[in-house]
Amino acid sequence: MHGQFVLERHVETDAKALVVHGAGGRISAAMKAAGFGSRFVGGRRVTGAAALPVIRKAFELENIALCRDVGLRARGLMGDELGLEAERIPELGEAGLLLPFVPDTLWEILETDDVPVIAPLARGPLNVNADDAAAVLAVALKADRLKFVSDVPGVMVDGRVLAELAERDIGSLELSGGIVPKLEAALLAAREGIRVEVGATHVMP
């Protein structure tokens, strides 16, 4: 995501909110600078053990920047320190899929006016795709709404943004790259009755 993130554009001022962020561009740049290549499977990053410290540092920097955007209510959190758990995905190396578990500390933060801003690492540590993490946490928290915010305005088809996209229609689209895990995550949450928006596109089961 490029530019400043303004939380109030996406939720009402007095609403409870939680932010899960990636750091894709920052991670790729940091890995290149450290001599590591970037490889993806199904839109998800393959994470080598040697690259984990580089990835963690990139997440820390992204978290600081995003907390600055969110403002005084922001509570920056590294997911593994928070106690997030994930199941390792062997083909992705030191990466995993978040388990639907909410640590007590997170529940306690949500009882306050603070906005948790979470970098998607899990205990291990394991790198977790931010879209997957956001969807799993939304389900575990029984959220009313999940919005994916990125540098694209929504799901694009033939140069236009779709207002709505149903699961039955996704198979007919030619999709690749990061939109694939984003829509998979969106559907995971939508099937649980959560209103899900990918940018301006309402994704429905």
Query: Residue 123: pLDDT band by 50, 70, 90 thresholds?
Result: very high
Instruction: Say how many domains are in the chain.
Output: 1
- Residue 54 maps to a domain: yes
Whether the Cβ atoms of residue 145 and residue 186 lie closer than 8 Å to each other = no
Domain CATH code at residue 192: 3.40.1160.10
| Domain annotation covers residue 2 | no
Residues 25-72 have pLDDT tens digits of 999 999 999 999 999 998 899 999 999 999 999 999 999 999 999 888
Q: Do the strands 40-41 and 44-45 form a parallel or antiparallel pair, or are they unpaired? A: antiparallel
Examine residue 23 and state whether it is found in any structural domain, yes or no: yes
Nearest alpha carbon to residue 161 among 198, 201, 193: 201
Closest by Cα among 81, 143, 77 to 109: 77
Q: Is 48 part of any domain?
A: yes
**What domain range is 100 assigned to?**
7-204
For the segment 156-185, what is each residue's pLDDT rounded down to a tens digit?
888 899 999 999 998 888 777 778 889 999
Contact 41, 92 (CB under 8 A): yes
